[in-house]
A = this chain, B = another copy of it.
Amino acid sequence: MEEGTFLSQGNTCVPGPLRAGDTVERGACAVTEVLDRVGSKWSIMVIVSAAAGPIRFTELERKITGISRRMLTLTLRNLERDGLISRTVYPTAPPKVEYALTEVGIELNEYLAQLTTWAERHRTTIHQARTAYDAARAAG
């Protein structure tokens, strides 16, 4: 498999405190690192799907409507590589593979849940803001 085709992957952040005048990369770098692994909606979907317990490849494919086989594989590999998800192969016939969140993955999922809460709390507000903005634009 070719490298560097899925998300950025190449983020090397320099740790340490920020100083005034720094470019924002210094500050947003850690956030960017997060995005590098969960910034795509597929990653999120996989994490959420696996949160309830171990889940198989085809189950994921069925549960996450619209994902292509290719992207599911790619996403799983990346999450596995980052140690957010574990992959267990049962040498049966036909083969059976289960994916489950790791400790770190579980923790991440909890933070994502926080964001979910935020989104739900402000869903209406944001939607209204959009409508208002668009109306204002249309009015000229």
What residues make up the interface of A, taking CB atoms closer than 8 Å to B?
13, 15, 23-25, 27-28, 30-35, 37, 39-41, 44-45, 48-49, 62-65, 80-84, 104, 107-108, 111-112, 114-116, 118-120, 122-123, 125-126, 128-130, 133-134
Contacts and interface: CB of A to CB of B under 8 A. Distances in A.
A104 B63 CA distance: 32
Given A24-B45, A44-B28, A126-B83, A111 B115 contact: yes
A32 B44 contact: yes
Given A15-B120, A130-B82, A114 B112 contact: no
A42 to B, nearest CB: 10
A44 B28 CA distance: 7
